[in-house]
Structure 1
Amino acid sequence: MSPRRSYDQYCSAARALDVVGDRWTLLIVRELLAGPRRYTDLHADLPGVSTDVLASRLKDMERDGLTTRRRLPPPGAASVYELKPRGRELLPVLQALGVWGAGELGERRPTDAVRAHWFALPLLSALKGAGEGLVEVRPAEGDFHGGVFHLCAGAQDGPVYGEGPAPAEPDARLVLDAGTLAAVSRGETSVADAVREGRIEVSGEGTLAKALREG
């Protein structure tokens, strides 16, 4: 475990950066907002991070009270990392960074890695105010960088999003293509406008689905 570096400034922003300002830390939080993850899963979804750096960051985050590690009972018998309440409080920070960074996103570069679930937090921000509920997101055609994912609009506890189909009947199911998903993430269009234009197909009988269809 590396000693914590500090800006040595009596400022809340500086103190925050003492804890989460290292490279990869906030992206690890992004991944753990999906719930408990094994080390191998984290490494697979953080392309570019070395095993040594990932292990070091996870130890630092555990020391700083952002995460905890626990052993799954048999037959899983694997260790998983998960966010503690202090780490979960970084959700609005990541969402704000996503909104701020939307203007930097532009078109995907040939060297850019991408995972479908990386669009979950921007989409969660775009759905703010539409209501609460479980949302399943499916590609309209082909596969947008990993396929189906789901998110929990208005969630207060538990995972904020996850890969694969919704674990229960979703309140709303969204079907859209990769271009529309990217446009919503870049802030070029809203979910409501994309629904009105027929670029997002909404199904489901939940209050959230009805709100999205009515615009």
Structure 2
Amino acid sequence: MPRPSTAPRRRSYDQYCASARALDAVGDRWTLLIVRELLAGPRRYTDLHADLPGVSTDMLATRLKDMERDGLATRRRLPPPVSAYAYELTERGAALLPVLRALAAWGASALDGPRPVDAVRAHWFAIPLLTALEATTGRTGPAGYVEVRLDEGVFHLRTGGGGQAAGCGDGPAPAAPDAALAMDTATCTAVARGELTPAAAIAAGRLTVAGDGPHAAALRAAAAEAGDLVTS
């Protein structure tokens, strides 16, 4: 039987309110951004620190301990030959994906171009792009992977369907992707902001699609329709 944690509790809003209880767990600085990183899959501490520019090592360690204590994340040893631990979300932590999607939709209008001090990672576009892709191909379509290549790197989206939950990950898709997309960061930003749909980006030649899966076919069909609308 596990021993109860002796770590001190963080300050609480002490309000009998669901929103206040949620913020007790995820309202601290960096917590939701750590969730964003772990939604992409298990990450080592060093990987998290590299993809969270500006967080101190002490702050990151504290937030991870808080998340373990609150049942949002767990730590496990990676199998040989890797000798390291990785952090991953629990089911409760993974259930924050809709929260991150809502925040991304709300904050997308502020992406009016990277500031000189802004860090950029390709997989940070995964959540808003997942929403834009589903708006084109539908949430109830077949499950599959969509691989996305930007100037800064590669990430993949896992579309829902067939009982599989939607999600995203850093790096290439773990299985043959249903569609492979390539675009520049400016185009991806426009899609994330809702200024450009994936179909319109394809029709304009700003986004290329490879693959023969259902999602690739749906994107090409939507792009053909968007092109017809523009030329008619």
TM-score of the aligned structures, taking structure 2 as reference length: 0.86
Amino acid at match of 1:175: A
Residue matched to 2:34: 28
Q: Which of 14, 18, 22 lines up with 1:16 in the alignment?
A: 22
> Does the Cα contact within 8 Å between 2:159 and 2:166 map onto a contact in 1?
no
Residue matched to 2:211: 204
Could you tell me which runs of 5 or more consecutive residues in structure 1 were left unpaired when the two chains were aligned: none
Matches of 1:203 and 1:73, distance apart in 2 = 34
Q: Deviations over 1:124-163 (max 9, x none)?
A: 1111241442011124xxxx22x12211122766893222
Residue matched to 2:229: none
Q: Deviations over 1:71-97 (max 9, x none)?
A: 112211211100000000000000000
SS of equivalent residue, structure 2 residue 87: strand
> Does the Cα contact within 8 Å between 1:34 and 1:162 map onto a contact in 2?
yes
Residue matched to 1:108: 114
- Once structures 1 and 2 are overlaid, which stretch shifts more, 130-139 or 81-90? 130-139
> Does the Cα contact within 8 Å between 1:34 and 1:159 map onto a contact in 2?
no
Equivalenced residue count is 210
SS of equivalent residue, structure 1 residue 117: helix
SS of equivalent residue, structure 2 residue 134: coil
Instruction: Tell me if 1:134 matches 2:118.
Output: no
Matches of 2:95 and 2:164, distance apart in 1 = 11
Q: Which of 46, 51, 61 lines up with 1:45 in the alignment?
A: 51
CA RMSD for the aligned pairs?
1.6
> Does the Cα contact within 8 Å between 1:35 and 1:159 map onto a contact in 2?
no
- Once structures 1 and 2 are overlaid, which stretch shifts more, 153-162 or 22-31? 153-162
- Once structures 1 and 2 are overlaid, which stretch shifts more, 37-46 or 197-206? 197-206
Matches of 1:190 and 1:158, distance apart in 2 = 23
Identical residues among aligned pairs (%): 66
SS of equivalent residue, structure 2 residue 181: strand
> Does the Cα contact within 8 Å between 1:36 and 1:80 map onto a contact in 2?
yes
Matches of 1:115 and 1:62, distance apart in 2 = 25
Instruction: Tell me if 1:78 matches 2:89.
Output: no
Matches of 2:55 and 2:82, distance apart in 1 = 25
Amino acid at match of 1:106: D
Residue matched to 2:189: 182
TM-score of the aligned structures, taking structure 1 as reference length: 0.92
Matches of 1:41 and 1:49, distance apart in 2 = 12
Question: Cα distance, 1:64 vs. partner?
Answer: 0.4
- Once structures 1 and 2 are overlaid, which stretch shifts more, 196-205 or 39-48? 196-205
Residue matched to 1:167: 174
Question: Cα distance, 1:33 vs. partner?
Answer: 0.6
The one of the two structures with greater contact order (alpha-carbon pairs below 8 A, sep at least 6) is: 1
Matches of 1:66 and 1:179, distance apart in 2 = 33
- Once structures 1 and 2 are overlaid, which stretch shifts more, 78-87 or 127-136? 127-136
